[in-house]
Homo-oligomer: A and B are copies of this chain.
Amino acid sequence: MRLEHFIAARKPSTIPEAPSDPISRLIERRWGAVLAADVVEYSRLTSLNEERTYFLYKAHRHELIDPKIVEHGARFVKSTGDGILAEFGTAIDAARCAIQVQQSMAERCKDEASDHRIVFRIGLSCGMIIADSEDVYGHEVNVAARLQTIAPPGGIAMTGEVAQTIRCTLHLPLEDLGMQQFRNMCRTVHVFQCQFLGNGDS
């Protein structure tokens, strides 16, 4: 059902009580693996040189990241200004995309001065999300965005569910960071991370 339909059906000043009320049946939910990527210290890089930062960021996006996201079959992609939010059909697709991006970024930037280098952090989460024509929403989207902020520069932070799913397929060296409590989130999150050598910041 399109968003406009259930917006029009809403009675003003009535707060629906999910999950038992009719609203939950009007919201499109699907299982998805969410990848959130952002540039480390983007504001500092922009302050140093706005145009060069923009240019290099867009070059990495168009030459590497966007093609990788397409290659791994993302169902939804949006720009977050200094990064990307993408949703994939499987955690393995999302993780493969993240790994290939970070490995290629380390190679692309190895000769650049570390204080001017574009380095990405990536967060991965998976579970039920809410999707409409404009964006993706829900707890797992928020978790991926938070994981991105604590990921090592040039590395990946992921939930326990993503780690369990990819463990036997991708053979990635994962560090268990234990249960983490993020501000304003009711549930703790089991976090694993991996770093990639050659990045200079890791």
- Residues on A lying within 8 angstroms of B by beta carbon are 3-4, 6-7, 10, 13, 15-19, 23-24, 27, 41-44, 46-52, 54-59, 62-63, 78-81, 85, 111-112, 116, 130, 132, 134-139, 141-142, 145-146, 182-187
A81 and B47 in contact, given A54-B137, A55-B16, A111-B13 (Cβ under 8 angstroms): no
Q: Is the CB of B18 within 8 A of A51?
A: yes
Among candidates B58, B116, B132, B146, residue contacting A58 with C-beta atoms closer than 8 Å: B132
Q: Is the CB of A138 within 8 A of B23?
A: no
Among candidates B3, B130, B136, residue contacting A51 with C-beta atoms closer than 8 Å: B130
**A23→B54 CA distance, assembly (Å):** 10
In angstroms, how far is the closest chain B Cβ from the Cβ of A34?
A: 11
**A144→B127 CA distance, assembly (Å):** 32
Q: Is the CB of B63 within 8 A of A18?
A: no
